[in-house]
């Protein structure tokens, strides 16, 4: 090997690395309040990360146009973690160490969130996650909060509705994703409390395009009165279609993981009559006038649809709630001091977001209950509120 040539090459590389590092350091010396985000804007969970990213951008702009927070402008520093926990961790480190953000709002999936938890705990920085699973906030972690309802709550809400409809024996079908598996486990756990018996438990793979076999098995299980599908992505749409093709003639429940218009588009006619628990924002206009979430939901829907010419999903709503909870906490704390902002977030009370009315406490870092988790039914290709 030619040593001097190699040496010169390495020298140049080193110089470049140093220059980049210095540029980064200089960048970190401005004044605005920095909101850090790492989201799955691309990749398999893009349907979560994309609306979240758009929502954060839009509201940071809006808040700045209204004069900022604490007299300072907001600056959004966001990275695309593409659903990869390893990337999420590296970007979180970048947000904390390099960009020196004041708060982190992000983590579209549970895996990404959990990979970052040890970092934010060690660095002592408030982190509001946008992912679903219960493990994020149970056990409570000092610096970690979340805005979406947990998978356990989705099970509970569905079982409540089943009880009202006198459905006691059900079949469960779930996918292979993290969300699917976690929700399946939670449903199995809480079913006895609601006197619901899960008498069939089927699973499908990540890339499966036909779930007829699993559904036929459920259909042939004697006594099945309803089917619950724990899953997100394209799986639930296929389940819904197959369900119709098999003329199962019983209620089908989906999870809040399909709470976007995409699901109805994919499943088409078969989606008619499907029920799922979701945040109120999907049915913003149908909410009764006195509802605490009416104003915030209608405004969010209007803003988002006007700006991006796209249907809203509950996922973007979670990002809205996360950002607003952080901003409100900063206002109440009167500072961006991380420990004080954390305390203020923990003391969030009566905050009306798109996901529900948030009442956090030292033992509850989500602050939502079942009362604002709405049961929706698809009617004529649209979401309607089950009364």
Position 98 contacts another protein (CB under 8 A): yes
Cβ-proximal residues to 13 (8 Å cutoff; 6+ apart), any chain: none
Min separation Cβ 37 and another protein, Å: 13
Q: Output 255 or 352, the one with its CB closest to another protein.
A: 255
Integer CA distances (angstroms), 134 to 37, 63, 257, 299, 317, in order: 21, 31, 14, 29, 19
CA dihedral sign of residues 183, 186, 190, 195? positive
Interaction between residue 207 and another protein (CB under 8 A): no
Tell which one of 36, 107, 111, 236 touches another protein (CB under 8 A): 111
Kindly report the CA angle at 362 between 361 and 366, in degrees rounded to 5? Answer: 55
Interstrand relation of 357-358 and 351-352 (parallel, antiparallel or unpaired): antiparallel
Direct distance between the N- and C-terminal alpha carbons of the chain, in angstroms, rounded to an integer? 77
Is 148 near another protein (CB under 8 A)?
no
Asked if residue 281 binds another protein (CB under 8 A), the reply is no
Question: Within its chain, how far is the Cα of 272 from the centroid?
Answer: 25
Which residues 67-96 are close enough to bind another protein by CB under 8 A? 79-80, 83-86, 89-91, 93-94, 96
Which CB sits closer to another protein, 98 or 382?
A: 98
Which span sits near another protein by CB under 8 A: 112-120, 142-150, 213-221, 272-280? 112-120
Alpha carbon of 378 to those of 50, 228, 277, 312: distances in Å? 24, 15, 11, 16
Give 57 or 328: the residue with its C-beta nearer to another protein: 57
**Shortest Cβ distance from residue 282 to another protein (Å)?**
26
Please report, as residue ranges, which positions from 218 to 247 form the binding site for another protein (by CB under 8 A): none
**How far apart, in whole angstroms, are the C-alpha atoms of residue 135 and residue 141?**
10
For residue 189, cis peptide bond before it (omega within 30 degrees of 0): no
> CB atoms < 10 A from the CB of 135, how many?
16
Token pair 């699917």 is found at 180
CA 137 from chain centre, in angstroms, equals 14
Question: 7 vs 268, which CB is nearer to another protein?
Answer: 7
Name the segment binding another protein (CB under 8 A); options: 10-18, 229-237, 327-335, 378-386. 10-18
| Comparison of 203 and 250: residue with beta carbon closer to another protein | 203
Q: Which residues pair with 253 in a beta bridge?
A: 228, 275
Residue 241: how many other CB atoms lie within 10 Å: 19
Smallest distance from another protein to CB 207, Å: 11
In degrees rounded to 5, what are phi and psi of residue 363? Answer: -105, -5
Pick the piece of the chain touching another protein (CB under 8 A) from 171-179, 219-227, 289-297, 377-385: 171-179
Residue 286 C-beta: closest distance to another protein, Å: 34
Among 114, 125, 238, 259, binds another protein (CB under 8 A): 114
Our CB check for another protein shows the closer of 86 and 164 to be 86
Q: Please return the burial class of 170, using the count of CB atoms within 10 Å of its CB with bins 0-12, 13-18 and 19+.
A: buried
Calculate helix-pair angle for 314-333, 338-346, nearest 10 degrees. Answer: 120
The count of residues interacting with another protein (CB under 8 A) is: 46
Q: How far is the CB of 262 from another protein (least distance, A)?
A: 21
Question: Using the rule CB under 8 A, is 10 a contact of another protein?
Answer: yes
The residue ranges that bind another protein (CB under 8 A) are 1-3, 5-7, 9-10, 13-14, 17-18, 20-22, 24-25, 42, 79-80, 83-86, 89-91, 93-94, 96-98, 109-111, 114-115, 117-118, 133, 135, 176-178, 181-182
């Amino acid at each position: 090997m030619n040593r001097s040539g190699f040496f010169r090459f390495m020298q140049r590389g080193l110089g470049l690395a140093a220059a980049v590092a210095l540029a980064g350091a200089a960048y970190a010396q401005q004044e605005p309040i920095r909101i850090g985000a790492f989201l799955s804007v691309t990749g398999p969970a893009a349907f979560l990360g994309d609306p979240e990213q758009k929502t954060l951008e839009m509201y940071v702009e809006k808040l700045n146009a209204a004069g900022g927070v604490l007299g300072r402008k907001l600056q959004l520093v966001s990275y695309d973690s593409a659903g990869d926990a390893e990337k999420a961790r590296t970007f979180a480190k970048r947000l904390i160490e390099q960009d020196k953000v004041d708060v982190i709002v992000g983590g579209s999936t549970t895996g990404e969130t959990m990979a970052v938890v040890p970092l934010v705990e060690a660095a002592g920085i408030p982190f509001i996650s946008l992912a679903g699973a219960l493990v994020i906030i149970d056990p409570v972690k000092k610096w970690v909060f979340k805005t979406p309802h947990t998978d356990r709550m989705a099970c509970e809400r569905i079982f409540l509705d089943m009880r009202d409809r006198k459905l006691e024996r059900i079949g469960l079908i779930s996918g292979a994703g993290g969300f699917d598996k976690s929700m399946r486990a939670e449903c199995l756990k809480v079913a006895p409390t609601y006197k619901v018996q899960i008498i069939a438990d089927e699973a499908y793979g990540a890339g499966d395009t036909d779930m007829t076999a699993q559904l036929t098995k459920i259909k042939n299980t004697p006594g099945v009165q309803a089917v619950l599908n724990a899953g997100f992505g394209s799986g639930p749409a296929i389940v819904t279609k197959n369900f119709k093709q098999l003329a199962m003639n019983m209620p089908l429940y989906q999870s809040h993981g399909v709470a976007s218009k995409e699901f109805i588009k994919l499943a088409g006619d078969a989606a008619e009559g499907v029920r799922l628990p979701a945040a109120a924002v999907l049915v913003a206009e149908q909410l009764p006038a006195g509802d605490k979430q009416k104003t915030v939901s209608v405004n969010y829907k209007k803003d988002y649809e006007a700006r991006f010419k796209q249907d809203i999903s509950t996922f973007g709503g979670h990002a809205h709630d996360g950002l607003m909870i952080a901003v409100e906490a900063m206002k109440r704390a009167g500072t961006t001091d991380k420990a004080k902002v954390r305390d203020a977030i923990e003391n969030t009370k009566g905050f009306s977001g798109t996901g529900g009315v948030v009442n956090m406490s030292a033992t509850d870092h989500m602050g939502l209950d079942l009362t604002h988790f709405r049961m929706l039914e698809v009617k004529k290709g649209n979401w309607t509120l089950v009364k």
